[in-house]
Structure 1
Amino acid sequence: MSALTARFDVPLGRNAPRAARHAATAVLTGWGYADDIWLDTAAVVISELVTNAVNHGGGCVEIRIESHDERVTVLVADGSSVVPRRREPDDRGGRGIALIEALAEQWGVRDHEGGKQVWADLAPCPGHRQPSGSQR
């Protein structure tokens, strides 16, 4: 069983989702996840989780990516204990949770250091190859 973990923070602000997408895509690509469609899906999930943390959370936004064999879980923590919920879309947004539900296999919320951590399990990546030099 192979397990890989990456953790990084992104500064609050409108550039946080983009920074998170770029960093997460680089990590996943380095881990051997090479399917462009899968990477795009992962980037959307990460972007929506971070956008929700920036817009509705508080404090620092922490991103954690875990890969256990073929499974990838993305976790985004913020300082707010308010649990995200689906709401009706309007001109200001409201599509994030619906997108996460559509693109991730499952998602949930847990308490994390006085705030919350929202996690999403991604579908397996087609053709995933572990980088050379890694052992299973």
Structure 2
Amino acid sequence: MELPPATPHDARPPQVSVDFEGAPGCIAEARETAVTFLGHHAPRAPHARHTFHDDVLLVVSELVTNAVRHAPGPLSLELGLLPGGIVVTVRDTNASAPRSRPPDRTGGRGWPIVQSLATRVRVVLRGDGKTVHAELAW
């Protein structure tokens, strides 16, 4: 996916929104969307072993994976610039709030990872699902 670079005349910060069917293959597509968006809009430390980009990709992967595992049906991913960071938003069809569970071989690590990497996490429950917003600062 090719995203246009931001211009000084844009009325709002750059963002991208993509809808997915909710199949496991969409996790890789969501990461590719994030890589493209970050490449156009986020600073990158050239010699750092672990970067802001890595954190954003991990949050995208975890939120989309949780949606695929726990919400039947379509989901959407939105990435947007904030002053000093990025917001990752995932909407799905499960109206239950994410929760931590003891980690085991099959999972239980994703939600704590998102909470530790994000500077702010908000969950909005709707009648037809939920929206999770995770903000990350550069």
Aligned length: 124
Cα distance in 2 for residues equivalent to 1:55 and 1:116 = 14
Paired residue type of 1:99: I
Q: Which runs of no fewer than 5 residues in structure 2 stay unpaired?
A: 1-10
Paired residue type of 1:31: H
> Residue 57 of structure 1 contacts residue 82 of structure 1 at CA under 8 Å; is this kept in 2?
no
Determine if the alignment matches structure 1 residue 47 to structure 2 residue 57: no
Determine if the alignment matches structure 1 residue 123 to structure 2 residue 137: yes
Match of 1:25 in 2: 35
Q: Over the residues paired in the alignment, what is the CA RMSD in angstroms? A: 1.8
Instruction: After TM superposition, give the deviation of residue 24 of structure 1 in Å.
Output: 1.1
Cα distance in 1 for residues equivalent to 2:127 and 2:38 = 26
Determine if the alignment matches structure 1 residue 101 to structure 2 residue 111: no
> Residue 74 of structure 2 contacts residue 93 of structure 2 at CA under 8 Å; is this kept in 1?
yes
Cα distance in 2 for residues equivalent to 1:15 and 1:102 = 26
Greater CA deviation, 48-57 or 60-69? 60-69
Determine if the alignment matches structure 1 residue 56 to structure 2 residue 70: yes
Whose RCO is larger (CA < 8 A, sep 6+)?
1
Cα distance in 1 for residues equivalent to 2:19 and 2:56 = 18
Q: Deviations over 1:86-113 (max 9, x none)?
A: 1111111010011111211121210357
Residues 28, 80 of structure 1: CA spacing in aligned structure 2 closer, same or farther, 3 A cutoff? Answer: same
The match for 1:14 among 11, 14, 24 is 24
Q: Which runs of no fewer than 5 residues in structure 1 stay unpaired?
A: 125-136
Match of 2:125 in 1: 111
Cα distance in 1 for residues equivalent to 2:17 and 2:112 = 25
> Residue 10 of structure 1 contacts residue 61 of structure 1 at CA under 8 Å; is this kept in 2?
yes
Work out the percentage of aligned pairs sharing the same amino acid. 31
Instruction: After TM superposition, give the deviation of residue 79 of structure 1 in Å.
Output: 0.9
Q: Deviations over 1:36-63 (max 9, x none)?
A: 7111110000000000000011221100
> Residue 60 of structure 1 contacts residue 79 of structure 1 at CA under 8 Å; is this kept in 2?
yes
- TM-score of the superposition, structure 1-length normalised? 0.82
- TM-score of the superposition, structure 2-length normalised? 0.81
Cα distance in 2 for residues equivalent to 1:32 and 1:38 = 9
Match of 2:13 in 1: 3
